[in-house]
Amino acid sequence: MGQGASRRLIGLVCGLLALTCALLAPRAEAQAQAAAERPNIVLILVDDAGYTDFGAYGGEIATPTIDALAARGARFSNFHATPMCAPSRAMLMTGLDSHMAGVANLPESTPPAHRDLPAYQGRLAQGVETVATRLKRAGYRTYMAGKWHLGHGPGDLPDAHGFDRSFALDATGGDNWDERSYFPLYERSPWFEDGKPATLPTDFYSSEFLVDQMIGYIGDGSGQAAPFFAYLPFLAIHIPVQAPEAFVRKYEATYRDGWTAQRERRRQGAVRTGLIGADTPMGPPPRNVAEWNALSPEAQALAARSMAINAGMLEAMDHHFGRLVDHLRATGQYDNTLFVILSDNGPEAGDPVAEPLFRLWLRRQGYEYGPDIMGGPGTYAAIGPGWASAAAAPGALYKFYTSEGGLRVPLIMAGPGMAEGQTVRAFSLISDIAPTLLDLAGVDHPPLHGRSLRPVLTGEAERIYGPDDPVGLEAAGDAALFKGDYKLTRNAGIWGDPAWRLYDIVRDPGETTDLAQAQPERVAAMLADYQAYAKAVGAADIPEGFSADRQIALNLIAHILADFRGLLLTGLVILVAVIGLAVFGWRRFARRSPERAGRLGRGITRGLVGLVGLLMVAIALRIWTAPQAFAATLGLGADSLLGVASLRADLGGFFGGGGIFALLAALRSDRRWLAPAMILLGLALTGRVISLVASGGGVPQIPPMIVEALLIVILALGWRALRPAPDREPSLA
């Protein structure tokens, strides 16, 4: 080839390259412009927030940052999560049903029979993509700081699921002041930074630290053409409730009139803010909530302080979230940011501090407990069922139940191009968030279980689910099937109802009127829809007698006992040695001085029997003066076989009468008085066993049953040691 031909070929190639660059430049510029126009996304997940906790939803707690965003965009009045955190988080992150995502239950409450099933692995299933993965592939920067709870093994943390940077807690919760374990299931709070174990700073407070991390990840936006996705799942307001005193102090007097009055105030707040109608009935109070006026002044002060801390914790979270919003404003990133704020389930009603075994573990961890100190570092508090039922108003029950109090939670969305001051009344589910974010970001995706909320946000449609579209939900045996305005529900937990109930949740969100008998055809059709859903997603049948809170309690007791195994074994060895030495010494003493040994033995027996009598009388007085509180500690509901109303006459009478007879036996050294004492105490124990079987009272009843059995054993030993008086019949004279 000649030089002229070579030059012509080179010129042709250069011309083609120039033409290609000219053609591609506008496309690349358009792609860059499209990326720049995509909204930033801030996803805020509040842990265990009730339906009326935010100010925008009628609550008294100061949440100005959240309220301002609600006014700027849309509140959802009929939005639902699952009744527990890990399944909700799986659906939020993937847009899939929790079973298909691999997290159908809490790992901590999954029954052994389910642990090998694909839907119950406690971590995101292989091949399941998160919204972060999809956004990252579309050019987003992706960040996460907060509670993950979707697996912490290799490949299970946020860094393996689409997040560029992350600082994650993988547990049900954690202490808000340091790394100590908040629950016996964990040795310490398991924090990870970018997939590696992390330590916390000495000045750590969870809400403040997580916002600091996120601000650091996002930066000021300079030199960044790509939009960001920021996922902030706070620890607030999960137990332990803890907050700086500056946020708690303002609520010191707010809750002194109790949870019943507070529940009605919350219902009125929801009416005032337009979420529900003025004639909306309040859901029935949970059976394990004591009457406020039946509590002692000390118990009332402790409860009011716990709720004040809870309020301060939520306000502190809102304050620090406000710092993130201020940062975005200051750096010019606010106007192009979509904000989504929601809760993962209803409010937490558990109060582990009420259990003596748990308090023993708390002391070993260095926790303190009391109204004068709670809230700060090294302290522990929980709001319990009374305040939880108020936070869920007007709904029934709370977290771990598929009643509206456990499922219906706040959802707020605000961002560019969104109409201000909207209230969206259409039914929606937490699996709808992921497709909504992808839709608003212009990211294509395969079909998901959830549906985009964009049509109801823009006014293109009034609802995203038609009146004949069945939407199923199941977690730990609690189940719900939504269809139009109706909901078919079953609650398997201790305080729930395992029967299928039908409610019109649009007109009756408190679920006060069961329509199952009036509309049997609708029940049959919806039950068939639920069974089809359960089969499609792989929901397993629950074991007989299972409930999530009972399973957690059993796992908790096992971990506590394992934690104290060395101490218990040492104590057992010492006890056996002491008993052996005592028996050996007593036998030698009895052989040498049988008469003295007999008198001493009877004296010791009389003393033990007298102590049993005093203890039984003290229990009877406790039952008589505070039957509601006593019933709550035993797991008895007002409508259980041995409910609150019958405690005075039944258990109170049994313990009181038995105690008096035991005292008479000790004072008179006459075993014949022990027979009625043992009979009455045996009846009390039998009644508790019947109640345990009939009402499913669970773990809280077991320790008192053990105590009663030991008391009967002591009285039986007294029967053997004491002799009947030879010259008189027992009488009250």
Residues known to be catalytic: 85, 149
C-alpha 498/C-alpha 161 separation (Å) is 37
Contacts of 247 (CB under 8 A, 6+ apart): 312, 313, 315, 316, 319
Question: Length of the chain, please?
Answer: 733
CB atoms within 10 A of CB 693: 11
3-state secondary structure of 701: helix
Cα dist. 514→80, 396, 404, 482, 490 in Å?
Answer: 20, 13, 13, 15, 12
Structure tokens at 581: 């030495």
Cα dist. 239→403, 592, 602, 660 in Å?
Answer: 21, 61, 51, 42
Looking only at the bridges linking them, the beta strands covering 228-233 and 196-197 are: unpaired
Structure tokens at 118: 């694909």
Three-state secondary structure readout of 516-575: CCCCHHHHHHHHHHHHHHHHHHCCCCCCCCCCHHHHHHHHHHHHHHHHCHHHHHHHHHHH
Contacts of 63 (CB under 8 A, 6+ apart): 53, 54, 55, 56, 314, 315, 318
Q: Cis ω on the peptide bond leading into residue 61 (within 30° of 0)?
A: no
Three-state secondary structure readout of 203-260: CCCHHHHHHHHHHHHHCCCCCCCCCEEEEEECCCCCCCCCCCHHHHHHHCCCCCCCHH
| Residue environment code for 506-528, b if the CB has 16+ CB neighbours within 10 A, otherwise e | eebbbbeebbbeeeeebbebbbe
Residue 191: strand pairing partners: 169
Query: What Rg, from alpha-carbon coordinates, does the chain have?
Result: 31
- CA 612 to the chain's CA centroid: 39
Helix axes 653-668, 594-625, angle to 10 degrees: 160
CB atoms within 10 A of CB 559: 18
Cα dist. 289→69, 179, 260, 294 in Å?
Answer: 34, 32, 10, 11
Closest CA to 258 of 250, 266, 268: 266
C-alpha 44/C-alpha 385 separation (Å) is 25
CB atoms within 10 A of CB 723: 13
| Residue environment code for 475-502, b if the CB has 16+ CB neighbours within 10 A, otherwise e | bbbbbbbbbbebbbbbbbbbbbbeebbb
Nearest-10 Cα torsion for 636, 639, 643, 644? 90
- CA 728 to the chain's CA centroid: 61
Inter-residue contact 85 to 109 (CB < 8 Å)? no
